């Protein structure tokens, strides 16, 4: 790291002329005691300074100490970057991982949503170097008492444990990014680990009796009936089922390979088939004979039956949108047969289970 070479004389209208007494060290000419120095050094081309009181020899040692500490990352570049600006840099870096396939686009979008909804309104405008531990403790307490908002209106329910954990995770990642990039000398979140939300919602999978599963399938509108059957008897997520292509169905072996999922469409970016978040999620699932036969008939009737075509498509050949499948298919059927009555966990593609059947 090259040290800056300040000008021989620096003018200061309020404090008079400064005199260079050593490399990177200046003294005010009107200082009667000659014990007040201004020390300069540079970090990545940006000049830093510090006022030091003492002898010239002590000032030289202090400048060298600061130089070494800067090289070791213990002294950071002064910056006015806000939490929101650092978050923007973090998300850009995360997007580059999506392009390489190291991260899922849904994960990045989820992180952005958590930041916009729960972190940015309170901390977004704060200079990241000025955020204190006490401020973060108060923020976490405020987050714990925050109410859910549905369709722009605040409800009487607190944020779920899942939401709290994910908002805290995003905040940790942003401050970790700031620390690694030298925007902060220490991570203030490290000092409040015990205050941070942890854990998930303490809800177990809802188990349906086979009779209820059959009623659910019968009540499902026709465009989504086979999809709901697949979810019910395999335990797949909607995104995984919607991401299936015909090449994933082994009709001879009677199994389905889960390797990918369907991303969520957003403005300017249609839904597409992407890898699962982790390789651990990849699996082979045996299919019941009746379900396998239903898939075979579905392929026969479909105008899109090539190996690379999606199993579940709209009339235009595009993959079915996950929200349509969930609200118009599964949830509509559950409401019709009163499976979402008060007092029970709401039925969705990830909150129920059923014993596998080979009949």
Pair (211, 177) in one structural domain? no
State which of 195, 230, 265 marks the end of a domain: 195
| Domain annotation covers residue 78 | no
pLDDT in tens, 259-277: 988 888 777 778 888 888 7
Q: How confident is the model at residue 309 (pLDDT cuts 50, 70, 90)?
A: very high
Pair (317, 212) in one structural domain? yes
Pair (127, 48) in one structural domain? no
Name the least confident of 81-90, 231-240, 248-257: 231-240
Q: Residue 186 belongs to a domain with what CATH number?
A: 1.10.150.130
**What residues have CB less than 8 Å from 261, skipping those under 6 apart?**
237, 239, 240, 242, 243, 273, 274, 275, 276
pTM score, two decimals?
0.52
- Please say if the pLDDT value at position 97 is more than 70: yes
State which of 49, 71, 93 marks the end of a domain: 71
What CA–CA distance (Å, rounded) separates 57 from 63?
10
Pair (174, 224) in one structural domain? no
| Domain annotation covers residue 358 | no
Question: Which structural domain range is residue 105 located in?
Answer: 83-195
| Domain annotation covers residue 317 | yes
Pair (63, 129) in one structural domain? no
| Domain annotation covers residue 76 | no
Element (H, E) at 212: helix 210-219
Give the total number of structural domains in the chain: 3
% pLDDT > 70, the chain: 80
Q: How confident is the model at residue 72 (pLDDT cuts 50, 70, 90)?
A: low
Higher pLDDT: 77 or 60? It is 60
pLDDT in tens, 276-303: 877 778 899 999 899 999 999 999 999 8
Angle formed by the axes of helices 133-144 and 161-180, nearest 10° = 160
Pair (308, 343) in one structural domain? yes
Pair (293, 249) in one structural domain? yes
| Domain annotation covers residue 359 | no
Pair (248, 212) in one structural domain? yes
| Domain annotation covers residue 1 | no
- Please say if the pLDDT value at position 339 is more than 90: no
Predicted pLDDT at 328: 83
Higher pLDDT: 236 or 192? It is 236
Predicted pLDDT at 44: 60
What CA–CA distance (Å, rounded) separates 172 from 145?
19
| Domain annotation covers residue 275 | yes
Angle formed by the axes of helices 222-234 and 210-219, nearest 10° = 160
Pair (324, 223) in one structural domain? yes
- Please say if the pLDDT value at position 143 is more than 70: yes
Pair (131, 242) in one structural domain? no
What CA–CA distance (Å, rounded) separates 197 from 167?
9
Q: Residue 21 belongs to a domain with what CATH number?
A: 3.30.160
State which of 17, 45, 71 marks the end of a domain: 71
Output the six-digit token pair for 97.
């991982």
Output the six-digit token pair for 109.
């979008």
Pair (67, 88) in one structural domain? no
Q: Residue 290 belongs to a domain with what CATH number?
A: 1.10.443.10
Pair (66, 90) in one structural domain? no
- Please say if the pLDDT value at position 238 is more than 70: yes
| Domain annotation covers residue 77 | no
Alpha-carbon torsion angle 327, 328, 329, 332, nearest 10? 80
Q: What is the maximum span of the chain, computed from C-alpha positions, in angstroms?
A: 98
């Amino acid at each position: 790291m090259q040290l800056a070479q300040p000008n021989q004389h620096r003018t200061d209208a309020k404090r008079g002329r400064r005199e260079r007494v050593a490399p990177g060290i200046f003294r005010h000419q009107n200082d009667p005691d000659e014990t007040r120095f201004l020390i300069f050094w540079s970090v990545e081309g940006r000049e830093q300074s510090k006022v030091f009181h003492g002898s010239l020899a002590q000032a030289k040692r202090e400048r060298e100490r600061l130089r070494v500490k800067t090289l070791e990352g213990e002294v950071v570049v002064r910056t006015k970057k806000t939490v929101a600006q650092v978050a923007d840099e973090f998300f850009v870096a995360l997007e580059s991982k999506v392009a390489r396939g190291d991260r899922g686009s849904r994960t990045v979008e989820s992180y952005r949503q958590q930041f916009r909804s729960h972190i940015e309104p309170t901390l977004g405008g704060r200079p990241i170097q000025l955020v204190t531990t006490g401020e973060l403790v108060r923020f976490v307490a405020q987050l714990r008492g925050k109410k859910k908002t549905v369709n722009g209106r605040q409800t009487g329910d607190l944020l779920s444990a899942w939401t709290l954990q994910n908002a805290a995770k995003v905040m940790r990642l942003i401050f970790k990014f700031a620390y690694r990039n030298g925007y902060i000398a220490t991570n203030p979140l490290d000092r409040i680990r015990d205050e941070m939300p942890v854990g998930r919602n303490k809800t177990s999978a809802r188990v349906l009796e086979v009779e209820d599963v059959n009623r659910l399938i019968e009540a499902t509108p026709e465009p989504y009936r086979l999809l709901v059957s697949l979810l019910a008897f395999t335990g797949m997520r909607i995104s995984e089922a919607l991401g299936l292509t015909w090449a994933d169905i082994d009709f001879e072996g009677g199994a389905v390979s889960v390797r990918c999922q369907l991303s969520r469409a957003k403005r300017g970016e249609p839904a597409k088939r992407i890898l699962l978040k982790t390789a651990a999620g990849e699996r082979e699932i045996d299919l019941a004979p009746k379900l396998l036969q239903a898939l075979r008939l579905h392929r026969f009737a479909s105008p899109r039956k090539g190996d690379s075509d999606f199993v579940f498509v709209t009339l235009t050949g595009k993959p079915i949108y996950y929200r349509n499948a969930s609200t118009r298919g599964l949830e509509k059927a559950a409401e019709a047969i009163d499976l979402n009555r008060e007092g029970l966990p709401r039925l969705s593609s990830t909150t129920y289970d059923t014993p596998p059947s080979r009949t």
